[in-house]
């Protein structure tokens, strides 16, 4: 093989590692062992004569050359997949109605859609962002095909992972010193709200609800403005807010059980099958990586 020639298998492993954030997380996507994934990356770097990924003890980081290659690699693989589908594959079409809360959309849905969209460009995705308490009954009634939610019952949906909950506040206001402590909460049926109030009761902390909103942006605004502290999913907590704990007199919060729900009415839809399976596979891999 000539110097610089690239194999799609190498590029596929490279993109999978970047999307998963680890070698182990990429194994299920490319159906290779971790050692085989590592070998594919080494072959790619050797062919290019460039270092693409810096490997730390627990993290991976793209080099500048890796950043440059990533965009090209995605385009090459997308064209390859389109060619395969045009010549040999079944072209999926249709619409998938997908629900997700705001706090899970960016962190967990984005990497799934980045994989799904290039493979199945004929599938239209209708995305609905609402709280889990609104999405779950909409799946049950058939209004939505799939929803990624904080589940409200241990026997419902397919459990993917547990999402930590944290107390957050703006460091300059120190509202956690107040008695009663002012809190921002979601709607009355929210699991996050129940967890927050239960934790305060366990600690014997008096509290006052000063802000209600079903919006994640609203919760964060209430904290940033010094109005209240709030209980948020860890994945949605902005880095500039302070995570609070026992030193501030606040006890632990129960984690959320993140699950994927699917409507019975969507059975038989290959488009829904494909997105549901990719969603479950990708997020389970990310959680175990």
What the chain holds in terms of domains, given with CATH numbers, is 8-87 (1.10.10.10), 94-159+258-288 (3.40.190.10), 165-254 (3.40.190.10)
Contact 114, 75 (CB under 8 A): no
Name the pTM for this structure: 0.71
Q: Give the separation between CA 268 and CA 265, rounded to whole angstroms.
A: 8
- Say whether pLDDT at 186 is over 80: yes
210 sits in which H/E element: strand 207-212
Of 143 and 106, the structure prediction assigns the larger pLDDT to 143
Q: Which pLDDT score, from 0 to 100, does residue 117 have? A: 84
Q: Which pLDDT score, from 0 to 100, does residue 287 have? A: 59
pLDDT range class, residue 206, cuts 50, 70, 90: very high
pLDDT per residue as tens digits for the range 84-141: 767 765 678 899 999 999 999 988 998 899 888 877 888 999 999 999 999 999 999 9
Mean pLDDT within 255-264: 93
Burial 162-185 (b: 16+ CB within 10 A, else e): ebebbbbbbeebebbeeeebbbbb
- Say whether pLDDT at 150 is over 90: yes
pLDDT per residue as tens digits for the range 19-66: 777 888 788 678 789 999 999 999 999 999 999 998 776 678 899 999
Q: Which pLDDT score, from 0 to 100, does residue 111 have? A: 84
Q: Which pLDDT score, from 0 to 100, does residue 182 have? A: 97
pLDDT per residue as tens digits for the range 211-254: 999 899 999 999 999 999 999 999 999 999 999 999 999 999 99
Q: Give the separation between CA 51 and CA 100, rounded to whole angstroms.
A: 37
The closest of 196, 208, 206 to 232, measured between CA atoms, is 196
Look over the chain and give the mean of its residue pLDDT values, rounded to a whole number: 89
**Cα 237 versus chain centre, distance:** 13
- The three-state secondary structure class of 83 is helix
- Say whether pLDDT at 197 is over 90: yes
- Say whether pLDDT at 288 is over 60: no
Q: Which pLDDT score, from 0 to 100, does residue 184 have? A: 97
Q: Which pLDDT score, from 0 to 100, does residue 268 have? A: 83
Q: Which pLDDT score, from 0 to 100, does residue 277 have? A: 86
pLDDT range class, residue 272, cuts 50, 70, 90: very high
Q: Which pLDDT score, from 0 to 100, does residue 1 have? A: 42
Q: Which pLDDT score, from 0 to 100, does residue 57 have? A: 61
- Say whether pLDDT at 263 is over 80: yes
Contact 206, 249 (CB under 8 A): no
Q: Which pLDDT score, from 0 to 100, does residue 88 have? A: 67
The closest of 44, 24, 21 to 34, measured between CA atoms, is 24
């Amino acid at each position: 093989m000539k110097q610089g020639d690239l194999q799609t298998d190498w590029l596929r492993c490279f993109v999978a590692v970047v999307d998963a954030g680890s070698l182990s997380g990429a194994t299920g996507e490319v159906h290779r062992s971790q050692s085989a994934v590592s070998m594919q990356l080494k072959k790619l770097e050797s062919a290019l004569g460039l270092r693409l990924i810096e490997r730390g003890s627990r993290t991976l980081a793209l080099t500048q050359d890796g950043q440059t290659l990533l965009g090209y690699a995605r385009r090459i693989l997308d064209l390859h997949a389109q060619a395969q589908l045009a010549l040999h594959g079944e072209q999926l079409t249709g619409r998938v109605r997908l629900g997700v809360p705001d706090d899970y959309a960016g962190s967990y849905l984005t990497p799934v859609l980045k994989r799904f969209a290039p493979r199945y460009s004929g599938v239209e995705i209708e995305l609905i962002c609402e709280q889990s308490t609104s999405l779950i009954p909409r799946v049950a009634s058939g209004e939505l095909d799939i929803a990624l939610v904080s589940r409200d019952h241990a026997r419902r949906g397919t459990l993917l992972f547990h999402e930590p909950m944290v107390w957050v506040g703006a460091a300059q206001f120190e509202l956690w010193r107040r008695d009663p402590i002012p809190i921002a909460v979601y709607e009355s049926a929210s699991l996050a709200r129940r967890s927050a109030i239960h934790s305060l009761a366990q600690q014997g902390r008096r509290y006052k609800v000063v802000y209600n909103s079903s919006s994640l942006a609203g919760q964060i605004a209430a904290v940033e403005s010094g109005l209240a502290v709030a209980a948020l999913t860890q994945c949605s907590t902005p880095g500039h807010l302070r995570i609070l704990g026992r030193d501030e007199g606040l006890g632990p919060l129960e984690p959320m059980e993140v699950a994927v729900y699917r409507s019975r009415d969507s059975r038989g839809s290959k488009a829904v099958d494909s997105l549901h399976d990719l969603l479950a596979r990708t997020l389970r891999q990310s959680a175990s990586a």
